[in-house]
Amino acid sequence: MAGRVYVPMTTRQLHQFGDSPCCMKVRMALAAKALPWDEVFIESWKFDHFQPAYLALNPDGIVPTLVDGGRVVTQSNVILEYLDDAYPEPPLRPEDAYQASIMRKWMFIEQDHLFGHIVTLSFNSMMKLRVEGFGLAQLTQWSHRHPDQQKAQDYLRRLTAPRDDAKDAAARRGLRVFLERLEQDLGLFDGPWICGARLTLAEIALAGIFDRLVYLEEDGCFRGLPRVEAWFDALRASDIYIAGEHRFAARMWGPKKPVAEFRNLIR
């Protein structure tokens, strides 16, 4: 990144935010495959992901980006499938075609539905705290680094606007609809995981969503769903979840990390 000296220790680098559901899932997959990697930390609040050096790797300006031996792979769920194809042991996809279809369904639901609801809840409970933590003047200065100034100014307006509790309530309802479906699907096969006896990419894709719900103290979205609760307890205790979980120091401010107590602890 511009202004940094970066010396890779391996041939595999993960460009990531410190506190992103999409980045967490890739870290979990790397852990499942026992693959070493180096971190290139993206300071999203400074719009690192929209700077020329990063856009040269990922023109969409999103994270994560995996660079594996010079091969650039983008889009988090694509990265998961790439890792399972390139490093097939241990396998993270079912051999059974129907089980594999259920796995892909939940990867799709996470990407196209759950993630959007999580972004909504996160904006009020996390993003708005940037004004308190960094100050509006600093955020305004960083916003000039954004290549689309219309989007940058919209971002600043939303940061300083009143909370939108109606949007939060709609997001909770939307999450609950799909989590009730997950409760049903966890009864399809014999085993603790979505596809039966073996943890798959479905668990990895959903892990960051559940991590964020807990961090936002929004775990009421899945309480009262016994299969989902037992499934998440097992997932949260797994080695790859623990390995992929965000470092507390790298988490953005939120309900479990108030600015007043942790103003200087971002990284």
Whether 219 and 125 map to the same domain: the answer is: yes
Q: What is the DSSP letter of 196?
A: B
At residue 40, φ and ψ (nearest 5 deg) are -115, 105
Whether 134 and 185 map to the same domain: the answer is: yes
Pair type for strands 65-68 and 12-16: antiparallel
- What pLDDT shows up at residue 2? 41
- What pLDDT shows up at residue 216? 97
Residue ending a domain, among 86, 116, 135, is 86
Whether 150 and 215 map to the same domain: the answer is: yes
Whether 123 and 250 map to the same domain: the answer is: yes
Whether 194 and 68 map to the same domain: the answer is: no
Q: CA 251, 256, 262: angle at the middle one, nearest 5?
A: 65
| Domain-embedded: residue 2 | no
Residue 17 has, within 13 A of its CA and on its CB side, a CA count of 21
| Domain-embedded: residue 170 | yes
Q: What is the DSSP letter of 253?
A: S
Whether 106 and 204 map to the same domain: the answer is: yes
Whether 54 and 166 map to the same domain: the answer is: no
* Predicted TM-score (pTM) above 0.85: yes
- What pLDDT shows up at residue 251? 92
Whether 72 and 154 map to the same domain: the answer is: no
- Give the pLDDT of the chain (267 residues) as one tens digit per residue: 444 444 445 689 999 997 899 999 999 999 999 999 999 999 999 999 999 999 999 999 999 999 999 999 999 999 999 999 999 999 999 999 999 999 999 999 999 999 999 999 999 999 999 999 999 999 999 999 999 999 999 999 999 999 999 999 999 999 999 999 999 999 999 999 999 999 999 999 999 999 999 999 999 999 999 999 999 999 999 999 999 999 998 899 999 999 999 987 665
Q: Which residues contact 209 (CB under 8 A, 6 or more apart)?
A: 21, 110, 114, 115, 118
Domain of 18: which CATH number? Answer: 3.40.30.10
pLDDT tens digits, 141-161: 999 999 999 999 999 999 999
- What pLDDT shows up at residue 264? 75
- What pLDDT shows up at residue 263? 82
Whether 54 and 114 map to the same domain: the answer is: no
- What pLDDT shows up at residue 6? 42
Q: What is the DSSP letter of 20?
A: -
Whether 128 and 236 map to the same domain: the answer is: yes
CB 200 within 8 Å of CB 153? no
pLDDT tens digits, 237-246: 999 999 999 9
**Residue 26 belongs to domain spanning:** 12-86
Coil, strand or helix: which one is 61? coil
CB 24 within 8 Å of CB 246? yes
Whether 164 and 141 map to the same domain: the answer is: yes
Residue ending a domain, among 61, 86, 111, is 86
| Total count of domains within the chain | 2
